[in-house]
Structure 1
């Protein structure tokens, strides 16, 4: 287990840097994410050679490829921005894979922790965003619309099932069911926050490469498409030239969620070793 301590320390340093950049500029530098992959794999290669443990490097390399797949999945699914997706890819070189089954337990286990921590962080962060926003409750209710039975049915079922399994000693499964019951409610809450707090009219001079536009933009003879990879440098230059304000979808500074999720993961790993992973 000691061979992972340096990798954990490395990831903590990189993620602290990423979180600071994300809060300040809403961007995570590409060189930061790619250098984490390079340094982590270089350490694995050096350790593998010095200790004659080839699989330590191989598992890290496969882990990187495995998480690159997840990164693309979440990026093109618009769950993560580009910097967040690349940070996830980089963590594939860091996580303690020691067998092929670990890609399922550790990989999905970490992603589960990340989404749980991310959901809690987003909920807390969004409460500050909606303060003073008139009509939030009305918009939230409108978003739910005729799906109240589904939303509140899931919520009540999740609460009762969670309590049942909690008292039957299957605490983890009870917790999962409770979280599952909250999902529809959280989905409509997130949609309302997105509509009321995350969409803003932006001057062309304030646009950044990769910004997500809300809808297609007509520019006289052409159209700038609402693409998953966001605005390009040339498109930003064109918008500056015609002086057109743009509705963009801003995101939360999410890198801090990676740091907090990794702290939870490392605590569980150091406390319980690999034995805690099958609960995921």
Structure 2
């Protein structure tokens, strides 16, 4: 029990520090995630050799394998950065098994999907409002019309207001997705680029070519761009900022500690009980 408490405290520290750096700098330092991953591996091995708890070892292995598989899928799809993958892997190693609760990590990941969807939607909305003055007149009219339709439909069909609002919000997201994505693109000076930044347009000069890729800029790409910068050929490049997802990990972790349950199932069960 004391071991689990220590692991949970370390997880809290990892997620808190990572959330702050991810939100402020849009990146998570490698030394931070690598340190916690290494500590997680050594800790779990030490615990196993001292307790021979095969159940713990198996579930930590399952959680770690699952986190790496999902993380790499999202990474190569261009949805997550490398820092997000490493944070998830570190979490699996630190709390893949907590207090005889084999499903703790799966509960955490399930809750993250729920929190992540809400968090991503709120982040999307904030980006939209922050750039509202740049929106065209036609788009403003379309958005206001949609909001009025959602409001009137909710009044007319009050028994289904939550379904109408959710459907309307999804329509609003799809209507503005491209515009919000474009508003998250900005020009950055080459010396300020970091590994993993998502390049929007290819950079070509002579034999030097840097192509956009789903996994972001590599060290070799940065070397080429810095060479062009020193030559005075390219000063800035257009990159796309990603959504800092680590804070959603932190919120999901806190909720999982509090409820120790799959929140989606809890919400569905509650709605069924309330429904006549």
Question: What SS does the corresponding residue of 1:248 show, helix, strand or coil?
Answer: strand
Query: Counterpart in 2 of 1:22?
Result: 22
Aligned to 1:46: 46
Relative contact order (alpha carbons < 8 A, sep ≥ 6): 1 or 2 greater?
A: 2
Partner residue of 1:237 out of 197, 201, 226: 226
Q: Which residue of 2 aligns with 1:206?
A: 192
Cross-structure match for 1:67: 67
Deviation for aligned residue 1:200: 0.9
Q: Report the TM-score, using the length of structure 1 for normalisation.
A: 0.73
Partner of 1:13, secondary structure, is helix
Q: For 1:34-113, what aligned pairs fall within 5 Å after superposition?
A: 34-97=34-97, 102=103, 105-106=106-107, 108-113=109-114
What's the secondary structure of 2:93's corresponding residue? coil
Matching residue of 1:220: 206
Which residue of structure 1 lines up, in the alignment, with residue 242 of structure 2? 251
Larger radius of gyration between Structure 1 and Structure 2: 2
Return closer, same or farther for 1:122/1:236 CA change in 2, 3 Å cut-off.
same
Deviation at 1:12, TM superposition (A): 0.9
* 2:187 counterpart SS class: strand
> Is the counterpart of residue 267 in structure 1 residue 258 in structure 2?
yes
Change (3 A) 1:4 1:183: farther
- Matched residue pairs, number? 254
Q: Is the counterpart of residue 195 in structure 1 residue 182 in structure 2?
A: yes
Q: In 1, distance between residues paired with 2:36 and 2:167?
A: 34
C-alpha contact (below 8 Å) 2:78/2:215 kept by paired residues: no
**Which consecutive unaligned segments of at least 5 residues does structure 1 have?**
167-173
CA 1:110–1:7 in 2, change beyond 3 Å: closer, same or farther?
A: farther
Gaps of 5+ in 2: 269-276
Alignment of 1:129 onto 2:130: yes
Equivalent residue of 2:204, what SS?
Answer: strand
Q: Which residue of 1 aligns with 2:272?
A: none
Q: Residues 260 and 189 (structure 1 numbering): CA distance in 2 closer, same or farther, change over 3 Å? A: farther
Match of 1:185 in 2: 172
Cα offset, 1:60, TM superposition = 0.9
Which stretch has the larger CA shift, 119-128 or 66-75?
119-128
TM-align CA RMSD: 3.8
Deviation at 1:186, TM superposition (A): 2.3
SS of residue in 2 equivalent to 1:92: helix
1:234 and 1:182, CA in 2 relative to 1: closer, same or farther beyond 3 A? same
